[in-house]
Structure 1
Amino acid sequence: MTELLVLALTLLAYAMVSSRLSLSPITAPMVFTGVGLLAGAAGLVDLELDGEVVTLLVEVTLTLVLFTDAIRIDLRALRRHLGLPVRLLGVGLPLTILAGTAVGALLLPGLGLLEAALLAAVLAPTDAALGQAVVSDPRLPVRIRQAINVESGLNDGIALPVVTVLLAVVVAEEGARATDGWWSLALSQVGFGVGVGVVAGLAGGWLLDRRARAGAVEGVYRQLAALAVVAAAYAGAVQLGGNGFIAAFVAGLAFGHVARAHCEHVQDFSEDEGELLTVTTFLVFGAVLVGPVLDEVTWRTAAYAVCSLTVVRVLPVLVALLGSRTLVETRLFLGWFGPRGLASILFALLVVEEVDGPVGQEVFEVACLTVLLSVVLHGLSASTWSGRLARRLDRLGRDRAEHGDAAEMPTRRRLGR
């Protein structure tokens, strides 16, 4: 029960100063990771990396995050303002994985090309919540804020099939099994995941929308019904041999398409639960995952982590934004604020569960170190650079490309609620 006490006291203490901290460079992930590190070092948190508690936390958090990230992105509205998000997701994301693979192959001799690609895919998703100011500071143009917000909302789900396929191949090779069947495993994981997600999201969303319009669904059960949709998508996909996380993300996209009127209520309900799971994950991250990793840091793992947050992310974004007519500083801003956070932690835990031996451990350690650096560096720099860029764009006038039209969509965590 010591772990629960540590979480409860940390949560209470942070809540008492959360309004003031929301305007400072100190973010919730920084606080909970730091407390976790101290609690782990003091022996107050005694959880096993492969224990049931950690596994359950990972699965529930990732499922909820993928679903809620998907439903908050209005695909109809996004179609009218595709410019920057399409560049970041369609060009920047694949180039980031390729760059991460190349750097991993050069810096981490213990990894083969496939393992380096798996590590790069694990670290490809971004988590805007680590630098909340970049998506919530009203001084920044909506187009810039929403480019980061939409990218963060969609790239974890887009990267997930890549992680799934690469993980299937690596597991087959590490297990010294014939690899000619890996493709069927990967295809079933992705195929059933997508199929079940589409069916669950469309059917559940349509049914909820129809019955709610008829006045047949009472209050909170609108929100509980949406959570039942994601649970059914996850469980149904797993039962058929598919990937439950892919099903959760696809169900969110499908649900949001047919039941957009109910997404705000779902987000209101799930935001609190999602935030609780998120801060709990970061506390466990600090207490259970980071401590042992820090003892094993080498210059190679540190160099990869630094490269992952800089050249591996920034250069692909600069390439993706060629011809966008935005300032070079804006492009560097969008490149830098690709924090590695919750999705990368959870993907790394999936890897270490599936891949035995030093390869899985190295992927896990490098990913954890990268996320730790990101929690600190992106948290500290978000508010300062957001303010600086906003002031510069104000001085240059509203005819800049940065001030173009963009759909305002909810962020994962809204300040002031």
Structure 2
Amino acid sequence: MLGLAVGIAIPAVITLAWRLKVLTAEPRLQALGPLAIAVILYPTCHLTHANPYLAAFAAGSTLATLDRVSAEHFEHFGDLLPETTKFAALLVFGELITPERISHLTVGDWVVAIIAILLVRPATMMLSLIRTPLPARERSAAAWFGPKGFASVVYGLLALQAGIPQGEHVFDLVAITIALSIVLHSSTDVPVAKALRVEPPDNLPTGRPDAESHREQQ
């Protein structure tokens, strides 16, 4: 409950303060307002021992309700921010996957990772798509590629940071599973797309010089 209270109180006070003429934000910088709230929210949760995930959820809902203008300004910036933070987390995750960490893994550990990629995830995905109108080839492609999500990286880092028994072993299993998934799925996306005759979007760059494109338009 403390997380809910913190998540509601902080954005509510700040959004009410923004309505004062003295504290009115520069229009072109309004997208940074929600980010500033998040920066304030995280240390507050740390100091009060409030649940940061619950506080973040409550803060987003409160901000969208009380200040739709800031929420709209933040929308585009907010789409890019998670991708940036994911990239940073992947860099940290990748730096932790060293030969020393995975050299002690047994054959059984590698088998578990391979089964998770080749059997568990595709089987569960196929089961969830049984009653959908998708053709069999598309269902197979969906089962092979996803959903992968980013949660496994977060859970692996949390297990490593929590200091629980066998936490490092859990992280190492997650690490090799993700690493194998990246290699396998990144190596097969183009062949699968060609097999399904998936055309690239029209707005992708063609690689032709602007002068040549201009001549073709003329």
**Fold equivalence (TM over 0.5):** yes
Residue among 178, 182, 188 paired with 1:375:
182
Compute the displacement of 1:367 (Å). 0.8
Residue among 349, 353, 370 paired with 2:161:
353
Residue among 340, 365, 390 paired with 2:172:
365
Distance change >3 Å, CA 380–CA 205, structure 1 → 2: farther
Residue among 91, 94, 104 paired with 1:286:
94
Aligned length: 199
Residue among 5, 8, 12 paired with 1:203:
12
Deviations 1:15-42, CA, capped at 9 Å, x for gaps: xxxxxxxxxxxxxxxxxxxxxxxxxxxx
Contact 1:192–1:242 (CA<8 Å) still a contact in 2? yes
Structure possessing the higher radius of gyration over alpha carbons? 2
Compute the displacement of 1:248 (Å). 2.6
Distance change >3 Å, CA 314–CA 219, structure 1 → 2: same
What is residue 192 of structure 2 aligned with on the other side? Answer: 385
For structure 1, the residue ranges without an aligned partner over 5 or more in a row are: 1-190, 393-414
Aligned partner of 2:31: which letter?
Q
State the structure with bigger RCO (CA 8 A, min sep 6), 1 or 2.
1
Contact 1:193–1:246 (CA<8 Å) still a contact in 2? yes
Distance 1:313 1:284 in 2: 25
TM-score by length of 2: 0.69
Distance 2:10 2:131 in 1: 37
Contact 1:223–1:265 (CA<8 Å) still a contact in 2? yes
What is residue 231 of structure 1 aligned with on the other side? Answer: 39
TM-score by length of 1: 0.40
Distance change >3 Å, CA 289–CA 265, structure 1 → 2: farther
Distance change >3 Å, CA 264–CA 293, structure 1 → 2: farther
Distance change >3 Å, CA 201–CA 307, structure 1 → 2: farther
Distance change >3 Å, CA 323–CA 341, structure 1 → 2: closer
Compute the displacement of 1:363 (Å). 0.7
Matches within 5 A, 1:76-155: none
Calculate percent identity across the aligned residue pairs.
27
Distance 1:257 1:330 in 2: 39
Deviations 1:208-229, CA, capped at 9 Å, x for gaps: 9x849xxx43134312211122
